[in-house]
Structure 1
Amino acid sequence: MSYRRCFKMKLNEGCAEEYKIRHNNLWDEMKDMIHKYGGENYSIFLDEETNFLYGYIELKDLELWSKSASTDICKKWWTYMADIMETNEDNSPISIDLKEMFYLK
């Protein structure tokens, strides 16, 4: 079974280009971790009027995916990104899950 997740995060003002650069150069270790923990078809979009980022990812296993946050590479990525987006105390991005309202396959 596959799960679809959508969420929003907040980018700091004036950081859109840097955010894009960092993600266009996503570390191989981060790509490997995302796939290892069941993530695929991962996209992030920016609303330029509000600086909200909207992420969409398909997951093979929700429990497995939840364990990805405790990996060293994920924590390292969070620290790397903390200067350009709103974060929690542990540097994880403040992320709000969005409620699915419609799906057409």
Structure 2
Amino acid sequence: MSIHAFKMQLKPGVVDEYRKRHDEIWPELSNLLSQAGIYDYSIFLDEGTLSLFAVLKLRDENQRDALPGHPVMQRWWDHMAPLMEVQPGSQPKEWPLPLLFHMD
């Protein structure tokens, strides 16, 4: 198991829509993430900067690296692209966050 944390960036005026789309997450996307070995996934918002902070756990035998090529993932990214900063192909821009402290 490993923990992966990263930052993403929302565009102004879209917080409610971002929350709504995640509240209505597609079952096929949720299943895909679980099958890829992702669990205990949370996204936090810094309301002052519109920065998103994501933390997820990865099983040792995960396939997270294969997700960008999956059609369901690509459709989700296209669905979310109007709300956030993205790379070509609609994948959200991610800035890794190194772990500085952890308490069990």
TM range (shorter): over 0.9
Instruction: Confirm whether residue 50 of structure 1 aligns to residue 49 of structure 2.
Output: yes
State the Cα distance separating 1:68 from its structure 2 match.
1.5
Write the deviation string for residues 52-97 of structure 1: whole angstroms up to 9, x where unpaired: 0000000013761111221110000000000010000110000111
CA distance in 1, matches of 2:88, 2:8: 15
Structure 1: runs of 5+ lacking an equivalent: none
Q: How many residue pairs are counted as aligned between the two chains?
A: 104
TM-score, length basis structure 1: 0.95
Contact 1:6 1:57 survives alignment (8 Å): yes
User: Are the counterparts in 1 of residues 85 and 93 from structure 2 also a CA contact under 8 Å?
Assistant: yes
Q: Which residue in the other structure is 1:86 paired with?
A: 85
Alignment pair present for 1:25 and 2:28 = no
Residue 40 of structure 1 aligns with which residue?
A: 39
SS in 2 for 1:41: strand
Output the TM-score relative to the length of structure 2: 0.96
Higher mean displacement: 45-54 or 59-68: 59-68
Call closer, same or farther: CA 1:30–1:18 in 2, change over 3 Å: same
8 A Cα contact 1:3 1:62, kept in partner: no
Structure 2 CA distance, aligned partners of 1:23 and 1:63? Answer: 22
| Aligned-pair Cα RMSD in Å | 1.1
> Deviation string for 1:20-63 (max 9, x for gaps)?
00000000000000000000000000000000000000001376
- SS for the counterpart of 2:28 is helix
AA aligned to 1:5 is: H
Which residue identity lines up with residue 49 of structure 2 in the other structure?
Answer: T
* Uncovered stretches (5+) of structure 2, i.e. residues with no partner: none
The alpha carbon displacement at 1:9 in A equals 0.3
